[in-house]
């Protein structure tokens, strides 16, 4: 009897990539490298796919990161494009969607707010706007944060007296609101200003947002002189106050470059395997704030590689300005310029200034990036020391990289919610916070054990479904439960049923007199114990517990408010905002609507016989 030949093991790494080379040509496109489980390790773009992938087929000359990536590669995927610019955009879409382990990843992809001068109403409204620019009006931005928008709106109200109320509030006013009394609005809602005069204020505000504030100030000064000459002293005094407010606005602007009307200033500082990117927004010759970003690195990327990856991801879904000033060059400046110009529909200039005002702007951003990274590294070092102390105090296998803290909130069982907050070596991970509306009908109102069981069951059932092999960093290393032995026992029971009882958990009980500093800690199968009053780990756990408590209470209040404001008409299919307003205006209340007959309902504008029948069926179903 002869032995059957052993199956040839599948190729990986360099040998696998060598085989793929035989099927490739010189087309531009995007390639993906996958591991044994099919997870994407890396997404890259190439002007020439065969030439680019051949670099990975070499057996030497790679950095440690690239060598590891090649060793882990068990398959590859390719997609050709017509141009390299198309490949660049496709690469960005895939990186954003797949979040490959070996790519530079921008972790904060939040949209930026704008100021909108809404012009769908005869009297334009000024307000903060975030998201798709679908509303009629003029948009100014982006601003670095909601706080920057709010400060600018506050200044605009003081100087130009524009309304910020909604159209429905505007139409319902019968007398001026408080903003008119404190000289923040001209009260067009009750006819305190003519439409032509109001439109002139809107024009002045828009010129200010466009950076033409000097001209606005000169016009106001001329009007004030004319009013004084005509002995209209009250109007002259009002104009004087507006000039003073405008002067104050100009004096608090951080950086107002004269020679740079519109630009994003982007500076990168790298140190110790970490990076900070500072983005300053210049619009209308004014600084509209800044934001800092901390891309996830692998530790061996060059500055030009990080900068290019940041630009591609940062401007995905955002319209770039006419000029982008950089602290470092990038790998493919011509390609990036073409891609950004195509996105903007006009020419976009990329540059690394060496002298003059533009260089000063970049230097300022670079200094901020350096200082921000230093602060973050210092905070991270302190956080890591606390995590090491936590591991030592509770005999954990190592410092936890992801701590999940759970708490419940309700009032005698009403509007019950569970909250989860997440912390790690870099502090709070707020994008990972979760809320759980308690849905179990069998739970007795106020049963904290039952609520905690439902929250943990839903959380880990989902984790097991999405990542059963624990390949991602969404699995916690430690669970912190707000409660004592009862809560810990309930959680341990659920974890055992789900087969994930190997995750350490700690219950934090209030302790004697429910005082801070007297907390007792409970673990499955162990006696409760306490930490020293002045132990930094104790304060750390208190902060974790208090943050979960804050998050749960805020979520509960929001749900309770929503329930309080709920209208029975909202539950009826086909009843939108317009029909609800019509019904309430006709009958006076939802209760009166519930008592109305078909004939009464069809008498309301917009209510057909079929909709009327739905309303009757809803309120009279058994």
User: Could you tell me how far CA 474 lies from the centroid of its own chain?
Assistant: 18
217 vs 80, higher pLDDT: 80
In this prediction, residue 215 carries a pLDDT of 63
Residue 544 and residue 426 share a domain: yes
Residue 495 and residue 558 share a domain: yes
The number of folded domains in the chain is 5
Q: Residue 384 domain-assigned?
A: no
Average pLDDT of the residues in 365-375: 83
Residue 603 and residue 549 share a domain: no
Q: Which helix (H) or strand (E) holds 563?
A: helix 536-565
User: How much is the mean pLDDT over the chain?
Assistant: 82
Distance between CA atoms of residues 318 and 314, nearest Å: 7
Residue 604 and residue 480 share a domain: no
Q: How confident is residue 5, by pLDDT bands cut at 50, 70 and 90?
A: low
In this predicted structure, the answer to whether residue 322 has a pLDDT above a threshold of 60 is: yes
In this predicted structure, the answer to whether residue 258 has a pLDDT above a threshold of 80 is: no
Domain end point (choices 67, 98, 129)? 98
Q: Residue 394 domain-assigned?
A: no
In this prediction, residue 3 carries a pLDDT of 53
Distances (CA, A) of 430 to 426, 518, 536, 551: 11, 28, 23, 10
Of 105-109, 356-360, 442-446, which one has max mean pLDDT?
356-360
* pLDDT tens column, 390-425: 999 888 989 999 999 998 887 765 778 888 999 988
In this prediction, residue 239 carries a pLDDT of 74
Residue 432 and residue 325 share a domain: no
Angle (CA) 194-195-201 rounded to 5° is: 95
Residue 334 and residue 226 share a domain: no
Angle (CA) 384-388-391 rounded to 5° is: 140
Domain that holds residue 465: 403-563
In this prediction, residue 245 carries a pLDDT of 63
In this predicted structure, the answer to whether residue 172 has a pLDDT above a threshold of 60 is: yes
In this prediction, residue 188 carries a pLDDT of 92
- DSSP secondary structure of 287-308: EEEEEEE--B--S---HHHHHH
Q: Residue 426 domain-assigned?
A: yes
Q: Residue 476 domain-assigned?
A: yes
Domain end point (choices 358, 375, 392)? 375
Contact 499, 484 (CB under 8 A): no
Residue 430 and residue 336 share a domain: no
What are the residues facing 578 on neighbouring strands? none
User: Whole-prediction pTM value?
Assistant: 0.56
Q: Residue 522 domain-assigned?
A: yes
Distance between CA atoms of residues 490 and 499, nearest Å: 14
Q: Residue 105 domain-assigned?
A: no
User: Could you tell me how far CA 106 lies from the centroid of its own chain?
Assistant: 12
Residue 348 and residue 267 share a domain: yes
Angle (CA) 305-307-312 rounded to 5° is: 95
In this prediction, residue 469 carries a pLDDT of 83
Q: Residue 180 domain-assigned?
A: yes
Average pLDDT of the residues in 294-301: 78
In this predicted structure, the answer to whether residue 193 has a pLDDT above a threshold of 60 is: yes
Least confident window among 22-26, 300-304, 461-465, 508-512: 508-512
Distance between CA atoms of residues 571 and 567, nearest Å: 8
In this prediction, residue 420 carries a pLDDT of 92
What are the residues facing 29 on neighbouring strands? 46, 80
Residue 196 and residue 126 share a domain: yes
In this predicted structure, the answer to whether residue 2 has a pLDDT above a threshold of 60 is: no
In this predicted structure, the answer to whether residue 498 has a pLDDT above a threshold of 70 is: yes
In this prediction, residue 253 carries a pLDDT of 43
Average pLDDT of the residues in 338-354: 90
Q: Return the CATH number at 331.
A: 3.30.420
Q: Residue 391 domain-assigned?
A: no
Residue 266 and residue 239 share a domain: no
Residue 246 and residue 274 share a domain: no
In this prediction, residue 97 carries a pLDDT of 76
Residue 279 and residue 198 share a domain: no
- DSSP secondary structure of 122-148: SS-EEEEE-S---SSEEEE---SSHHH
In this prediction, residue 479 carries a pLDDT of 92
- What proportion of the chain, given as a percentage, has pLDDT over 90? 9
- What proportion of the chain, given as a percentage, has pLDDT over 70? 89
In this predicted structure, the answer to whether residue 383 has a pLDDT above a threshold of 90 is: no
Distance between CA atoms of residues 73 and 42, nearest Å: 9
Q: How confident is residue 251, by pLDDT bands cut at 50, 70 and 90?
A: very low
Of 178-187, 513-522, 585-594, 613-622, which one has max mean pLDDT?
178-187
In this prediction, residue 46 carries a pLDDT of 87
Distance between CA atoms of residues 459 and 131, nearest Å: 30
In this predicted structure, the answer to whether residue 22 has a pLDDT above a threshold of 60 is: yes
Distance between CA atoms of residues 235 and 231, nearest Å: 9
Domain end point (choices 98, 133, 149)? 98
């Amino acid at each position: 009897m002869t032995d059957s030949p052993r199956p040839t093991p599948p190729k990986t790494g360099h040998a696998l990539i060598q085989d793929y080379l035989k099927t490739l040509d010189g087309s531009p496109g995007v390639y993906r490298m996958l591991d044994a489980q099919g997870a994407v390790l890396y997404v890259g773009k190439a002007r020439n796919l065969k030439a680019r992938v051949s670099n990975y087929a070499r057996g030497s000359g790679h950095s440690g990161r690239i060598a590891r990536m090649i060793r882990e590669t068990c398959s590859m995927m390719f997609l050709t494009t017509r141009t390299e610019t198309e490949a660049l955009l496709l690469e960005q879409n895939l990186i954003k969607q797949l979040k490959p382990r070996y790519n530079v990843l921008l972790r904060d992809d939040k949209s930026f707010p704008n100021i909108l001068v809404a012009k769908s109403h005869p009297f334009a409204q000024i307000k903060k706007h975030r998201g798709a620019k679908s509303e009629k009006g003029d948009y100014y931005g982006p601003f670095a944060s909601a706080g920057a928008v709010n400060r600018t709106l506050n200044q605009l109200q003081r100087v130009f007296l524009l309304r910020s109320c909604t159209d429905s509030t505007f139409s319902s006013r019968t007398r001026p609101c408080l903003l008119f009394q404190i000289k923040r609005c001209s009260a067009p809602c009750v006819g305190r200003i003519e439409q032509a005069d109001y439109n002139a204020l809107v024009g002045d505000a828009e010129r200010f947002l466009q950076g033409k504030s000097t001209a606005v100030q000169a016009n106001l000064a001329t009007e004030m002189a004319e009013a004084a000459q005509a002995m209209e002293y009250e109007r002259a005094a009002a104009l004087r106050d507006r000039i003073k407010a405008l002067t104050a606005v100009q004096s608090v602007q951080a950086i107002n470059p004269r020679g740079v009307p519109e630009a994003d200033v982007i500076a990168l500082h790298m140190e110790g395997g970490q990076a900070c990117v500072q983005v300053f927004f210049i619009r209308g010759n004014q600084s509209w704030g800044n934001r800092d970003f901390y891309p996830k690195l692998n530790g061996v990327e060059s500055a030009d590689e990080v900068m290019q990856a940041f630009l591609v991801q940062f401007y995905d879904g955002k319209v770039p300005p006419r000029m982008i000033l950089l602290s470092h060059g990038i790998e493919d400046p011509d390609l990036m310029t073409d891609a950004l110009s195509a996105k903007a529909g006009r020419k976009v200039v990329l540059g690394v200034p060496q002298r003059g005002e533009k260089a000063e702007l970049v230097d300022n951003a670079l200094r901020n990036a350096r200082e921000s990274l230093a602060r973050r590294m210092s905070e991270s070092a302190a956080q890591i020391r606390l995590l090491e102390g936590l591991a030592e105090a509770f005999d954990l296998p190592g410092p936890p990289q992801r701590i999940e803290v759970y708490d419940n909130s309700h009032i005698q069982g009403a509007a019950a919610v569970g909250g989860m907050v997440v912390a790690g070596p870099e502090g709070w991970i707020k994008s990972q916070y979760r809320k759980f509306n308690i849905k179990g009908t069998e739970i007795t109102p106020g049963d904290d054990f039952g609520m905690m069981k439902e929250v943990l069951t839903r959380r880990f059932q989902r984790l097991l479904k999405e990542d059963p092999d624990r390949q991602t960093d969404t699995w916690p290393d430690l669970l912190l439960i707000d409660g004592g032995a009862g809560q810990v026992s309930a959680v341990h029971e659920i974890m055992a049923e789900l087969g994930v009882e190997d995750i350490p958990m700690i219950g934090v009980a209030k302790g004697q007199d429910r005082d801070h500093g007297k907390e007792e800690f409970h673990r499955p199968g162990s006696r409760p114990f306490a930490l020293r009053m002045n132990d930094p780990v104790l304060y750390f756990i208190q902060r974790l517990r208090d943050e979960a408590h804050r998050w749960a209470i805020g979520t509960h209040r929001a749900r309770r408010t929503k329930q309080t404001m709920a209208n029975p008409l909202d539950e009826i299919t086909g009843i939108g905002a317009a029909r609800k307003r019509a019904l309430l205006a006709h009958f006076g209340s939802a209760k009166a609507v519930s008592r109305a007959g078909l004939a009464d309902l069809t008498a309301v504008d917009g209510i057909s016989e079929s909709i009327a029948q739905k309303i009757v069926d809803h309120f009279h179903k058994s």
